Amino acid sequence: MRVTMASAMTEPARTPRILLVEDEAAILDGLDALFTSQGFATALAPDGLAALDQLAAQRFDLVVLDLMLPRLDGLSVLREARGRGDQTPVLILTAKGAEDDVVRGLEAGADDYVTKPFGLKELVARARGLLRRPRDASERPRRFVVGRALLDLDAQHVREDAEVKLTSREALLLGYLIERRHRPVTREELLVDVWGYNDGTVRTRTVDVHVQQLRAKLKAVPGGEDWLETVRGRGYRFVAELRESS
């Protein structure tokens, strides 16, 4: 068979692999059918231990993770996976109004959340957003000195007297704000360029909750709670003095 130059240079798009973790069989089957119909390759886990086994055995592009699970709850799954160094994007499913669960999930390393009951289009849009490579990924400087602290976005930590660990999404958020520290950055920009959504008007408080959690962590660094400024009606701005570090 003769292969043309065009066909030799064209690589087929890789099918995204998604792990669906949900203990209610009807919901799990529905999620499986939904994502399969949207072109995803799915794997299913009905409880937390099964989810960890799947994550240890193969690589995924995304995890959709319910928090209320038998054998091992979703937060424990998330903490264990992040503790192993697994940085697969995680979209958590939580009950409507369970704000504490959302905060704990994002603090444990989740990238976004959807509350039950959710719309199917919204869920797929959120999943596709987390699969997109953040537009801010670049060869720009990733290590900075802020006051007496060293901020390393690649290593995902801030060091002074003690170490403050950042999640991958927190590091992306900080890097994006640092690059644009000459002006306020809107929530819509962050949703598109850091979270990967096509539409920045998607209804979610994930940006605000991530900023809240980031500020809480940075309190461990003298003056760190003042690094991020809320600009009323505009968004957020990184305002601390910094310099690049070799």
Residues 8-28 have pLDDT tens digits of: 444 446 899 999 999 999 999
Q: What are the CA-CA distances from residue 149 to residues 48, 161, 176 (Å)?
A: 37, 8, 19
Distance CA 97, CA 122 (A): 18
Distance CA 215, CA 208 (A): 11
Residue 14, C-beta contacts closer than 8 angstroms, at least 6 positions apart: none
**pLDDT tens digit string along 121-164?**
889 988 998 988 664 444 566 889 998 899 999 889 999 888 89
Residues of the chain with CATH 3.40.50.2300: 9-131
The residues, ordered by sequence, that sit 6+ positions from 29 with a Cβ below 8 Å of its Cβ are none
Question: What is the Cα Rg of the chain in Å?
Answer: 19
Fold of the CATH domain 9-131: Rossmann fold (3.40.50)
The tokens describing 124, both together, are 């797929």
Note the pLDDT of residue 95: 83
List where CATH 1.10.10.10 sits in the chain.
143-244
Q: How far apart are the first and last CA of the chain?
A: 53
pLDDT tens readout for residues 31-64: 999 999 999 999 999 999 999 999 999 999 999 9
Average pLDDT, the chain: 87
DSSP 201: T
> Strand runs (DSSP E) across 77-176, as ranges?
90-95, 112-116, 143-146, 149-152, 157-159, 163-165
Looking at domain 143-244, its CATH architecture is Orthogonal Bundle (1.10)
